[in-house]
């Protein structure tokens, strides 16, 4: 995802044990990097992650 491996490493380190948060943080960065409607896309990510987490679904 990142050419800068440090970012990838830090994400994994900071979110170790919380795959929801890891996927969410990566999604936030991905939307920021690739989407022109990043804010609304990030909102969708927040909401879907919270719902999935509370339902105990797959991250």
Partner 1 sequence: MRFTSITISNYRQYKNLTFDFTKKRDTDIHIIVASNGTGKTNLLNAINWCLYNDEPHLNNKDEAMIMCNKSALKEAKERGQETVDVSVTIEAETNSERVIFCRNLPFKALTAFPLKSRATFTVSIVTENGTEPLEGEAAQDYIDLYLPKRIREYFFFDGEQLDNYFDPQKFEGNSSAVRDSIHTISEINVVTDAIKHLKKVIDDYRREAAKNNPDIVQLKNTYDSKKLLREAKEKEISDITAAIAVSKEKIEEYTTKISSQESIVDIDKSYKENEAEIEKKKTEYQYLKFELKRFVRKYYVLLSTYDTNRRVYNYIDEKSNQGHLPPDIDLKLLKQSLESHICAVCNQGIESNSAEHIEHLMQKLTVSTAVSHKLMEIKNDLITATEAAENFCVEKEEIFRKLSEKKSEISDLENKNLVLRKKLSTCSDVAEIKDWVKKRDDHTNLVQINSEKLGKYKEQVKVLQEDEDKARNELDKALSQQEKGEELKEYMQYASEGLHVLNEIEQEITGEVRCKMQEETMRVFSSLIWKKNTYERIELNDNYQLHLYSVENESCIGSTSAAERELLALAFTIALHRVSGHDALLFIDTPVGRVSDVNRENFAQALIDVSRDKQLILAFTPSEFSAEIRGYFNDESLSSMVELENLTEEETKVRRNY
- Encoded one letter per residue, x for contact with partner 1 by CB under 8 A and - for no contact, window 1-40 reads -xxxxxx--xx--xx-----x--xx--xx-xxx----xx-
Nearest-approach distance from CB 9 to partner 1, in angstroms: 9
Is 47 an interacting residue with respect to partner 1 (CB under 8 A)? yes
Whole-angstrom distance, CA of residue 22 vs CA of residue 36: 22
Residue 5: CB minimum distance to partner 1, A: 6
Please give the Cα distance from 13 to 32 (Å, whole number): 21
**Under DSSP, is residue 29 helix (H, G, I), strand (E, B) or coil?**
helix
């Amino acid at each position: 995802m990142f050419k800068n491996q440090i970012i990838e490493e830090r994400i994994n380190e900071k979110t170790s044990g919380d795959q929801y948060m890891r996927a969410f943080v990566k999604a936030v960065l991905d939307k920021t990097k690739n989407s022109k409607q990043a804010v609304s896309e990030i909102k969708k990510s927040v909401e879907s992650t919270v719902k999935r987490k509370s339902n105990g679904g797959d991250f």
